[in-house]
Amino acid sequence: MKAGKFWAWIVFILGAAYFFIPLIATIEFSLRMRRGVYSFDAYKVVLGDSQFQTTFMYSVIVAVFTILLGVLIVVPTAYWIRLRLPQLRPVVEFITLLPLVIPAIVIVFGYIRMYGSNSPLPFLSNNTATNALLVIGYAALALPYMYRAVDTGLRTIDVRTLTEAAQILGAGWGTIVTRVILPNVLIAVLSGAFLTFAIVIGEFTMASLLNRPAFGPYLQNLVANRAYEPAALSIIAFVITWGCMSLIQVLSRFAPKSANRPN
Amino acid sequence: MAEPFLSIQHVRKSFGATTVVEDFNLDVEPGEFVSFLGPSGCGKTTVLRMVAGFEEPSAGKIVVAGKDITRLKPNQRNVGMVFQAYALFPNLTVAQNIGFGLRVAGMPRADIDARVAEMLDMIKLPQMADHYPYQLSGGQQQRIALARAIAPKPKLLLLDEPLSALDAKVRVSLREEIRSIQKKLGITTIFVTHDQEEALSISDRIAVMYGGKAEQVGTPFEIYNRPATKFVANFVGTLNVLEGKVTDAASGTVQVNTQEVSLKGKLNGSKSGDMLSLALRPEAISLGRQPGRDSSLSGEISEVHFLGSVIRVRVGIGGNTVSLDTFNSPATPPPAVGEKAEISFSSSDMLVLH
Ligand SMILES: Nc1ncnc2c1ncn2[C@@H]1O[C@H](COP(=O)(O)OP(=O)(O)O)[C@@H](O)[C@H]1O
Ligand SMILES: [Mg+2]
């Protein structure tokens, strides 16, 4: 018992050290821009950089659209699979995992072949169309995370009975998905959304090859050419990520609780 | 019989190669409360789901108020349904749950509020309007599910084992509440259950189902006292079955073990030498000879269970065992195991099962 507790603490301390030492080192380093004293100069430089602001905003907007597109595709699909085509679930799961296996660069080259300026559909010569293609590509990249999150959410409710209860009360598919299914898997959708956000914010390959003014390429550029600013940027990214995580935690308190419990 | 409100005609349902419901026929009058009673897996839910529109019959048709609804979608049928699993929407409050159907129908807000309040009063839960389903007990959830089903004033109310997840006490009080609400509103209702006591106590008529067919449709009194088939007789209530052999078809004499009973006019068509199953309800049998009971058999007491106000006694007659109940009387001690005993009954209470 005592020995078990001792080893548990050892493992915990090792794990914590593995996690915190690089973090602390990075923070420490990011504060050393001014010679001899700790300062927030690196943060000031980063946050004050107009390129930081525009690329970050661009990526945030792309992320929002990616999330909307992902929700629009994944929620009805995962719902329908659970309700009517459970035998197709392994197939769909396999498809949603493909983006983890196929490198993003393949999608980009596909795009260039398909929509390049010499092709019959020269979308890539149009700015808005290229942005749209980027969003679509990102939605594919985020598919594994979004699908898994939503599917897990659907597992916690009795999809079939709730659907039938709504149907018999006169509801059509639109009403069922928006008023019954979506609200009950909202927390799952949100966690999928935050993962999507994290992916889109840091993505480099697609943005760079499609020549988009996104945050990923900016980050890459900064890392290659500066010393202290990338450290500061890492810390900023870390804070944003953890902010998202805590937000999921807070929001899940407001999640509708399952009513299917015995009395 | 008045024009039936709901008419289920020659309905069959197959899933792949297995036929789950076969040639199911039932006419339900307006305002009637009909129960589907049968063991689990006999097709009760499947018939109900066809009436609701969740399953399409493989053959036959379903008519409501003169209109063929066989191919209508569930959301076009104006039918209310209460499910076995509490199917309240977890993300909505009690009031929003009850108002769901009205909102979908596009009713103005003020009218919805009024109707929801009326429904909450009806189920005696007006203080629960703003609670969420997870904050309620199972019994409360089912009452709200009932209110939600009734709120849009459906033509037909379907209940699929709505009480089976509740504990015994709540089950009894809620079934009476359901029945009284149903009577007050006069809504035509189908109630599915596997619990015979539930079906007997609240139904106008019962359809006893077995193997996808309606074995017998009748009032609880008819079903209990004049079961049409062996299955119905066995499934509904406790039944004592005696194996007998027809010795003289003309005079209606049947031999049980080595003793004879006379069943004049009940043998319809059996010949001498045929084997028969004879059934008696426990309450139709008395211990000892009683005035007015024309038949008797003698045997030996094999078990005695003291249950308080009644004493359940089992009597062995040859290879058959008969259960009967006698009332407890403080003055007389209960019979003892091993005693010789005579049971008496009226031959008119004897059911001949084919
Ligand atoms: N969707 C389905 N696919 C295949 N078989 C089914 C389906 N639904 C019900 N069954 C079968 O039909 C039979 C009757 O089911 P059900 O109507 O639910 O019975 P009950 O409600 O009387 O218990 C069962 O044997 C069940 O396995
Ligand atoms: Mg059932």
Element (H, E) at A132: helix A127-155
**Structure confidence at residue B2 (pLDDT):** 61
What confidence category does residue B161 fall into, taking pLDDT thresholds of 50, 70 and 90?
very high
H/E element holding B341? strand B340-345
Instruction: Evaluate whether B306 touches B334 at the Cβ level (below 8 Å).
Output: yes
Distance between CA atoms of residues B45 and B41, nearest Å: 8
pLDDT in tens, A56-81: 889 989 999 999 999 999 999 999 99
Q: Which ligand is nearest to the CA of B209?
A: 1
**Quick check: CB of B43 below 6 Å from ligand 1?**
yes
Please give the Cα distance from B26 to A14 (Å, whole number).
72
**What secondary structure letter does DSSP report for A105?**
H
Domain-ending residue, one of B173, B200, B235: B235
A82 CA distance to ligand 2 middle (Å) = 21
- Inform me whether the pLDDT recorded for A119 exceeds 80: no
Q: Which of B11, B19, B20, B36 to mutate to test the pocket of ligand 1 (most atoms within 8 A of CB)?
A: B20
**Is the per-residue pLDDT at A137 higher than 60?**
yes
Query: Is the CB of residue B302 less than 8 Å from the CB of residue B348?
Result: no
Least confident of A120-129, B66-75, B164-173: A120-129
- Residue B198 belongs to some domain of the structure: yes
CB A67 within 8 A of CB A150: no
Q: Is the pLDDT reported for residue B89 higher than 90?
A: yes
Higher pLDDT, B40 or A258: B40
* Level-2 CATH architecture, domain A39-252: Orthogonal Bundle (1.10)
Predicted pLDDT at A261: 35
pLDDT digits (tens, 9 = 90+) for B230-276: 888 888 888 888 888 888 877 778 888 778 888 777 777 777 788 88
pLDDT, one tens digit per residue, over A143-181 is: 999 999 999 889 888 899 999 999 999 999 999 999 999
Q: What is the pLDDT of residue B290?
A: 81
Q: Whose CA is nearest to atom 3 of ligand 1?
A: B15
A–B CB contacts, 8 A cutoff, strictly below: 88
* Partners of residue A166 in chain B, C-beta under 8 Å: 89, 100, 104
Considering every ligand atom shown, identify the ligand nearest to the alpha carbon of residue B161 and give its number.
2
Half-sphere exposure of A132 (CA within 13 A, CB side): 8
Q: How confident is the model at residue B1 (pLDDT cuts 50, 70, 90)?
A: low
State the CATH number of the domain containing residue B87. Answer: 3.40.50.300
Q: Distance from the CA of A171 to the center of ligand 1, in angstroms?
A: 25
Please check whether residue A87 touches B, CB under 8 A.
no
Q: Which residues contact A80 (CB under 8 A, 6 or more apart)?
A: none
- B218 in the same domain as B311: no
| B190-210 burial code (b ≥16 CB/10 A, e <16) | bbbbbebebbbebbbbbbbbb
Query: Are B29 and B1 spatial neighbours (Cβ–Cβ below 8 Å)?
Result: yes
- Most confident range (mean pLDDT) of A52-66, A99-113, B221-235 is A52-66
Asked whether residue B253 falls in the same domain as residue B224, the answer is no
Determine the longest span between alpha carbons in chain B, in angstroms: 77
Residue B158 domain-assigned (yes or no): yes
A-chain residues within 8 Å CB-CB of B150? none
Do B86 and B152 lie in one domain? The reply is yes
- The C-alpha angle A22, A23, A28, rounded to 5 degrees, equals 95
A185 close contact with B: CB closer than 8 A: no
Residue A260 has pLDDT above 70, yes or no: no
Handedness of CA B185, B187, B191, B197 (dihedral sign): positive
Q: Is the CB of B193 under 6 A from ligand 1?
A: no
Q: Which helix (H) or strand (E) holds B14?
A: strand B6-15
Question: Rounded to whole angstroms, what are the CA distances from B208 to B24, B52, B61, B187, B308?
Answer: 11, 20, 20, 21, 32
B132 vs A259: CB contact, 8 Å cut-off?
yes
Report residue A114's pLDDT band, with 50, 70 and 90 as the boundaries: confident
Q: Which residues of A touch B53 (CB under 8 A)?
A: 167-168
Q: List CB contacts (< 8 A) between A259 and chain B.
A: 86, 88, 90, 132-134, 136, 141
- If asked whether residues B272 and B216 sit together in one domain, one would say no
pLDDT average, residue stretch B105-124: 91
Residues B183 and B150 in one domain: yes
Percentage of residues in chain A having pLDDT higher than 90: 28
In this prediction, residue A254 carries a pLDDT of 66
pTM: 0.80
The shortest C-alpha distance from B164 to chain A (Å) reads 11
Average pLDDT on A196-202 reads 87
What is the distance in A from the centroid of ligand 2 to the CA of B43?
Answer: 7
Residue B53 CA to chain centroid, in angstroms? 23
- Does any ligand 1 atom lie closer than 6 A to the CB of residue B49? no
In a domain? residue B277: yes
Q: What is the pLDDT of residue A39?
A: 86
Rounded alpha-carbon distances, angstroms, from residue A186 to A128, A140, A174, A179, A253: 30, 20, 16, 11, 12
What is the pairing mode between strands B275-280 and B320-327?
unpaired
Residues of A in contact with B52 (CB under 8 A): 164, 168
Are both B48 and B83 inside the same structural domain? yes
Which residue on chain A is closest to B134 by alpha carbon? A259
Subunit contact A161:B83, Cβ cutoff 8 A: yes
Residue B138 has its nearest CB partner, among A157, A175, A262, at A262
- The predicted pLDDT at position A259 comes to 39
* Nearest residue in B to A162, CA atom: B87
Whether A258 and B134 have beta carbons less than 8 Å apart is answered as: yes
Tokens representing A198 are 């994290």
The pLDDT score that the predictor gives to residue A244 is 76
* Same domain (yes/no): B275, B207: no
Instruction: State which of B15, B50, B83, B231 you would mutate to test the pocket of ligand 1, scoring each by most atoms of that ligand within 8 A of its C-beta.
Output: B15
Atom of ligand 1 nearest to the CA of B160: 21
Contact B104 A165 (CB under 8 A): no
Assess whether B225 and B276 both reside in one domain.
Answer: no
Q: From the CA of B199, how far away is ligand 2's center (Å)?
A: 14
Of B74, B83, B75, the closest CA to residue B141 belongs to B83
- Measured in Å, residue B44 CA sits from the centre of ligand 2 at 6
Is there a single domain that holds both residue B201 and residue B281? no
Q: Which residue of B has its CA nearest to A157?
A: B90
Domain boundary among B235, B252, B283: B235
Looking at A61-70, A224-233, B149-158, which range is the least confident one? A224-233
DSSP SS3 for B115: helix
Q: Which domain, by its residues, includes B220?
A: 6-235
Mean pLDDT score, B188-196: 93
Q: Which residues of chain B lie closer than 8 angstroms to A175, CB-CB?
A: 104
Please check whether residue B322 is in contact with residue B315, taking contact to mean a CB–CB distance below 8 angstroms.
Answer: yes
CA B119 to chain centre: 27
As a whole number, mean pLDDT of residues A116-131 equals: 79
Q: Which amino acid is at A260?
A: N
Find how far residue B165's CA is from the centre of its chain. Answer: 17
Mean pLDDT of B338-343: 87
- In B154-260, alpha helices (H): 168-185, 196-202, 220-225, 230-235
Is B212 strand, coil or helix? coil
Same domain, B99 and B200: yes
Rg, chain A, Cα only: 23
Residue-wise DSSP of A15-48? HHHHHHHHHHHHHHHHT--STTS--SHHHHHHHH
Mean pLDDT score across all residues of chain B: 88
pLDDT of residue A263: 30
Task: Give domain status of residue B296, yes or no.
Answer: yes
Mean pLDDT of chain A: 85
Residues B221 and B84 in one domain: yes
Q: Which of B79, B104, B149 sits opposite A175 (nearest CB)?
A: B104
- B299-313 per-position pLDDT tens digit: 899 889 888 888 889
Tell which of B50, B69, B79, B89 to mutate to test the A interface (max A CBs under 10 Å): B89
The residue out of B235, B250, B265 marking a domain boundary is: B235
Assign residue B282 the CATH number of its domain: 2.40.50.100
Confidence check: pLDDT of A41 > 50: yes
Calculate Rg over the CA atoms of chain B. 25
Q: Tell whether B1 is covered by a domain.
A: no
Total domains present in chain B: 2
Q: Does residue B40 share a domain with residue B27?
A: yes
Kindly report the protein residue whose alpha carbon is nearest to atom 18 of ligand 1.
B45
